[in-house]
Amino acid sequence: MKDILQELETRRAAARLGGGQKRIEAQHARGKLTARERVELLLDEGSFEEYDMFVTHRCTDFGMEKNRPAGDGVVTGWGTINGRMVYVFSQDFTVLGGSVSATHAMKICKIMDMAMQNGAPVVGINDSGGARIQEGVDSLAGYGEVFQRNIMASGVVPQISVIMGPCAGGAVYSPAMTDFIFMVKDSSYMFVTGPDVVKTVTNEHVTAEELGGASTHTKKSSVADGAFENDVEALAEVRRLVDFLPLNNRQPPPTRPFFDDVDRLEASLDTLVPENPNTPYDMKELILKIADEADFYEIQEDFAKNIITGFIRLEGQTVGVVANQPMVLAGVLDIDSARKAARFVRFCDCFEIPILTLVDVPGFLPGTSQEYNGVIKHGAKLLFAYGEATVPKVTVITRKSYGGAYVVMASKHLRADVNYAWPTSEIAVMGAKGATEIIHRADLGDPDKIAAHTAEYEDRFANPFVAAERGFIDEVIQPRSTRKRVARAFAALRSKQQSMPWKKHDNIPL
């Protein structure tokens, strides 16, 4: 018996060593942690239950039968994050470059199946040279099985990808189908074809970092949702994110103890909106003053900054926030901001996270670049996402809400439940100047007349009361009481039930 126990320990120790001490040191020398160190940091101490530690590949080509490392380059299992269950896989670059064999993929599929069956999120830590070249189509088939599970799990359990090394070729499409992607600066990259192929085909000279590093994907492409300094920071941020999310689509988002007065008044909000309608102000100030303990978890902070997306808690419950940012491009809607917000709204809706929308939007961005690149279709994504969302929706208009953008930004007409406006809000087809120049074109040569018409238009429309008279705005509220009013609105909506007509699925403009 003692010998058997000893053998178990010996086998475990060998598996834990992955590709060996030398490769572990090489991994550390690059500023990267090992697959197991990452799992330890991600999960609550001592909570990890590992599966398939002794799985080995079955390849016999290219001498592979002589090299069968236990675990086959991926560490899989489950554990807890602040006491809540998550499944995890962590690719081990020290073992055959973390490359994906049929059995490596099978291990990932096993925990994904368990996650779906048992209703817990999946966190995938990616650090891999891609398809195991020695295995050919078996490896591709393995990827295909993982992809199919990503699709099946979408909207059932939250899926989070952390990119902590190479992730190239078709391999990028597994993270791409998950809900959130985090990257580590200077040590991770994602691209469909690498710099050498790019050079051959397009004659562009580009480094791996420029082509697919964390900065590229969080600032330019929006493929990734967050970029972090190192492995430790990225994993700590995953823990923070998971705290906001429900475990699956059958459970409500978690409620945390909160120590912030829900009736807290913020007198400073009464002067947040400047006198001059063209002067910007920081919408994040409003978000922080509404949130419990000023805790805001921003998603895609570095992309399309004219719209802000992220999570707060109100009375301890998770709420998704979408807010125009007047500090950037006057908070205008454009292709990038519409895509960013639409995806966020859909995430919230599929996981029953209520949505708070803060509106200060002058309209859609004009221009050939926007039109040629399909602002019609991309703008429609946000419209569609809001209109199909059945979660509680509360909207606060702080200042401008013009034209189509008024309708898009969770208006009453898209089944928002409670629509508030600050007294400073202006709900109209367009700003006074533009409107005057169109309806009083004949007077354009007379500045006095134009000024009088503009003043008249402002008087009539630059306020929330026309919309309030029609019931499109439920109440005009004091800015200082926004937290209290919004929290009470969501409290009243806790048992909201709304559904869509039966359909196989919708056809959102992709």
Residues annotated catalytic, as ranges: 169-170, 404-405
Q: For residue 370, what are its two tokens?
A: 């926007």
Out of 8, 133, 151, 376, which residue is the one contacting ligand HXC (CB under 6 A)?
Answer: 133
Q: Which is nearer to ligand HXC, 129 or 254 (CB)?
A: 129
Under the binding rule (CB under 6 A), the answer on residue 132 touching ligand HXC is yes
Under the binding rule (CB under 6 A), the answer on residue 166 touching ligand HXC is yes
Under the binding rule (CB under 6 A), the answer on residue 96 touching ligand HXC is yes
Under the binding rule (CB under 6 A), the answer on residue 177 touching ligand HXC is no
Give the Cβ contact number of residue 315 at 10 Å: 16
Under the binding rule (CB under 6 A), the answer on residue 130 touching ligand HXC is yes
Query: What 8-state DSSP symbol labels residue 272?
Result: T
CA distances from 57 to 21, 60, 103 (A): 21, 9, 6
Cβ 119 vs Cβ 250: under 8 Å: yes
Binding pattern to ligand HXC, positions 282-311, x when CB under 6 A?
A: ------------------------------
How many angstroms from the chain centroid is the CA of residue 452? Answer: 47
Under the binding rule (CB under 6 A), the answer on residue 129 touching ligand HXC is yes
Residues of this chain, 188-227, that bind ligand HXC according to CB under 6 A: none
Q: Checking DSSP bridges between strand 355-361 and strand 393-402, what pairing results, if any? A: parallel
Under the binding rule (CB under 6 A), the answer on residue 20 touching ligand HXC is no
Number of residues that bind ligand HXC (CB under 6 A): 15
Q: Which is nearer to ligand HXC, 163 or 473 (CB)?
A: 163
Under the binding rule (CB under 6 A), the answer on residue 146 touching ligand HXC is no
Out of 70, 140, 380, 407, which residue is the one contacting ligand HXC (CB under 6 A)?
Answer: 140
First to last CA, the chain: 61
Q: Scan for tokens 């199946």, then name that residue.
A: 113
Query: What 8-state DSSP symbol labels residue 475?
Result: E
Under the binding rule (CB under 6 A), the answer on residue 170 touching ligand HXC is yes
Under the binding rule (CB under 6 A), the answer on residue 32 touching ligand HXC is no
Q: What is the DSSP string of 413-434?
A: GGT-SEEEE-TT-EEESS-HHH
Q: Which is nearer to ligand HXC, 61 or 371 (CB)?
A: 61
Measured distance CA(124)–CA(242) in Å, rounded: 13
Under the binding rule (CB under 6 A), the answer on residue 73 touching ligand HXC is no
Segment interacting with ligand HXC (CB under 6 A) among 46-54, 169-177, 326-334, 413-421: 169-177
Q: Is 329 left (phi over 0), alpha (psi -120 to 50) or beta?
A: left
CA distances from 20 to 93, 123, 155 (A): 11, 25, 39
Q: Which residues bind ligand HXC (CB under 6 A)?
A: 96-97, 99, 129-133, 140, 143, 166, 168-171
